[in-house]
Amino acid sequence: MNGFEKNFHALVVGANGGIGTAICDQLSEMENCISVVNLDRRAYPEFDLRDEQSIAKVTDGFRAKGMLFDLVFDATGALEIEGERPEKSIRELDPLTMAAHFSINAIGPALLIKHLSQIQPRSGRTIFATLGARVGSIEDNQLGGWISYRAAKAAQNQIIKTAAIELSRQNPSSICVSLHPGTVDTKLTRKYATSYRKLSPSEAAEKLLRVLGELSPEESGFQYDYAGIKLPS
Ligand SMILES: NC(=O)c1ccc[n+]([C@@H]2O[C@H](COP(=O)([O-])OP(=O)(O)OC[C@H]3O[C@@H](n4cnc5c(N)ncnc54)[C@H](OP(=O)(O)O)[C@@H]3O)[C@@H](O)[C@H]2O)c1
């Protein structure tokens, strides 16, 4: 049971990432998932979240082929950008690095919603899910640090909420959420969270797809963790 009553088409953005690859694998095994399209820089070398034209071009290509996606799963994002480790202190803050975090972790998902929601059906259950992070929760912030990544992920949550309101006016059955995948063993965490038990990408993907399957349109606009718990803003 995956929450889609009928057959559905899926698009996975960042399909070459650690979690993205596992999401593609698991979708491919679902009986009612009739197609899974991978959108990443391997399949589309010109694609870049920091370049709106590249997102528009890929979207136009799908539209020209009459492709519609019931599920768009955005598995992109970055913690280290161009070798810059996340800040431990505000004294390490660099405006260009901070802007790069917003570009990839907040504006990127916003542009994906802007363009890819246009190639989602206007009726019936549709989902746009993007990978957020618990550290983007302002209320939950106990430790400080990682200010650029945290701030961009917090902005991503506002983008999701705002877009969810608009998308639900176009299609009351739409769902637009961000998901915290847990601490997952991918290249993003290789140097970090070494003392935590990490989920394997396939464990995380299974849990995240189960959460999506159980969400209703009334729960759109928020961030949920891999157990389906709504996270504080
Ligand atoms: N792993 C965790 O424990 C964890 C925890 C909390 C949240 N998350 C979130 O989960 C998401 C995925 O994480 P992951 O662990 O799977 O990381 P990952 O293995 O590093 O995958 C990141 C993906 O994002 C893509 N990407 C990055 N910058 C891009 C750009 N400018 N244009 C297009 N694609 C770009 C990468 O493509 P390239 O390979 O082409 O760069 C890759 O497909 C991120 O948003 C992360 O913040 C992960």
CB of 189 sitting under 6 A from ligand 1: yes
Report d(CA 10, CA 23) in Å as an integer.
10
When the pLDDT of each residue in the chain is averaged and rounded to a whole number, the result is 96
Residue 41 lies in a domain: yes
Give the mutation target among 21, 41, 199 for probing the ligand 1 site: most ligand atoms within 8 A of CB: 41
What six digits make up the tokens of 45? 């070398």
Tally of structural domains, the chain: 1
**pLDDT reading at 120 higher than 80:** yes
DSSP H helical segments within 30-118, as ranges? 52-64, 95-102, 108-116
Q: Is the pLDDT of residue 214 over 90?
A: yes
Residue type, 101: H
pLDDT at 2 over 70: no
Whether 56 maps to a domain, the answer reads yes
- Expressed in angstroms and rounded, the spacing between residue 14 Cα and the centre of ligand 1 is 7
Q: Note the pTM of the prediction, 2 decimals.
A: 0.98
25: exposed, middle or buried (Cβ count in 10 Å: 0-12, 13-18, 19+): middle
Q: Is the pLDDT confidence value at 226 over 80?
A: yes
Percent of the chain with pLDDT over 90: 95
CATH number at residue 177: 3.40.50.720
Our CA dihedral for 192, 50, 9, 186, rounded to 10 degrees, sits at: -10
Structural domain harbouring 53: 8-225
Within a domain: residue 230? no
> Looking at 40-180, which runs of residues are DSSP E strands?
71-74, 126-131, 174-180
Query: For position 221, what pLDDT does the model report?
Result: 98
Given a cut of 90, whether residue 180 has pLDDT beyond it is yes
Rg (CA), the chain: 17
Residue to substitute in 84, 137, 186 for testing ligand 1 pocket (most ligand atoms within 8 angstroms of CB): 186
Residue 86 lies in a domain: yes
As given in the structure block, the two tokens for residue 211 are: 């959460």
Residue 1 has pLDDT above 60, yes or no: no
Residue 123 domain-assigned? yes
At residue 13, does pLDDT exceed 50?
yes
Q: Is the pLDDT of residue 3 over 80?
A: no
User: 156 CB less than 6 Å from ligand 1?
Assistant: no
pLDDT at 74 over 60: yes
Does 15 have pLDDT greater than 80? Answer: yes
Q: Is residue 1 part of a domain?
A: no
Residue 54 lies in a domain: yes
Helix (H, G, I), strand (E, B) or coil at 11: strand
Predicted confidence band of residue 42 (pLDDT cuts 50, 70, 90): very high
231 inside domain:
no
